[in-house]
Amino acid sequence: MALVVIGIATIVFFVTRVIPADPVGAILGPQAPPEVVDRIKREYGFDKPVYQQYIDFIVNLLRGDLGRSISTNRPVLEDIKERFPATFELATASLLIALLIGIPVGIISAIRKDSALDHMLRIVSLFGISMPVFWLGLILLLVFYYTLGLLPGPGRLDPYVREPPRITGLITIDSLISGNMAAFINALSHLILPASVLGYLSSAYIARITRASILETLKQDHVRFARSKGLPWREIVVRHIIRPSLIPIVTVIGLVYGSLLEGAVLTETIFAWPGLGSYLTRAMVFMDYNAIVGGVIVIALIYSIVNLVVDIIYVYLDPRIKYG
């Protein structure tokens, strides 16, 4: 895992340095005099030869230092620590919604293959894959916040709510720890709309894979055998169909979760959610070297961890899989 991270860090490091852009100029804007540009370049070490910058970078990386972001003028690690909890909270809530929709929809439409219900569910999930997220987000805000007033507007917490102390950075968890129920309910209601948008969109992938995987299992001999034994259909589905179908489903869930944890720029923008996606996008626009490399390292770590967890789950699902 460490090798993967260092490998990715190296690639991204050189890609950012190859692009003929000037991060200092981009941050200081068109008006800064050349002396100032040069001084800031020296401050960040961008005036050194690339191999020297790379050595410094790797040495710092091994010490857990990702360098300073040139646009926020703070350590990249601090920035990410501030942004990641918001993304983690939203991604996890979204994944829960995606699972709650995706798995049952996939199972039902596989078992009732080619029925009217199957077609309807497939159309709904096709919508999920093809729907522009900014449109869906704005429509939900318009309906549930503006018109009906049922749910709060953008942001993570309303200004009139007393903020819980920052412990994990996850407002829902922090408010529970500190026993601040008002903040918990408020934070949870702020999560509903953005998590529904992302959850619905992701549920489409999960539903499709679930359906395909279950259809595949349905064709297998052991299912035919179970049916010929005269087992009740419900029991066949639960014991002989769902469990063997889970491996590809878990794989997709891992990928979906990984991509949710990268942050979702458009959703974050519409719901004024201070997450990782908008941070990274901004870093790329301004060619903020350290922030880009740092962000990519974090994403690589997330994927590695999610993959590891998925691999461990495989072992539980399929006793034939063993890691030597």
Q: Which is nearer to another protein, 73 or 115 (CB)?
A: 73
179 binds another protein (CB under 8 A): no
Interface of this chain with another protein, residues 229 to 248, rule: CB under 8 A: none
Binding residue (CB under 8 A) for another protein from 2, 30, 49, 114:
30
Residue 216 CA neighbour count, 13 Å, CB half: 13
CB 171 within 8 A of CB 183: yes
Binding residue (CB under 8 A) for another protein from 47, 82, 118, 311:
82
290 binds another protein (CB under 8 A): no
Binding residue (CB under 8 A) for another protein from 18, 49, 116, 159:
159
Write down the residue that tokens 């860090």 correspond to.
9
At position 24, the amino acid (one-letter code) is V
Return the number of other C-beta atoms located less than 10 Å from residue 228's C-beta: 8
Q: Which two tokens stand for residue 314?
A: 């495989």
CB 159 within 8 A of CB 179: no
Encoded one letter per residue, x for contact with another protein by CB under 8 A and - for no contact, window 98-137 reads ------------------------------------x---
Cβ-Cβ contacts under 8 Å for 56 (sequence gap 6 or more): 45, 48
- Return the range that interacts with another protein (CB under 8 A); candidates 28-36, 47-55, 57-65, 254-262: 28-36
Among residues 220, 240, 216, 257, which one has the least CA distance to residue 102? 257
Q: Which residue ranges make up the site for another protein (CB under 8 A)?
A: 19-23, 25-26, 29-31, 33-34, 37, 72-73, 79, 82-83, 134, 138, 141-142, 145-146, 153-156, 159, 269-272, 274, 278-279, 285-287
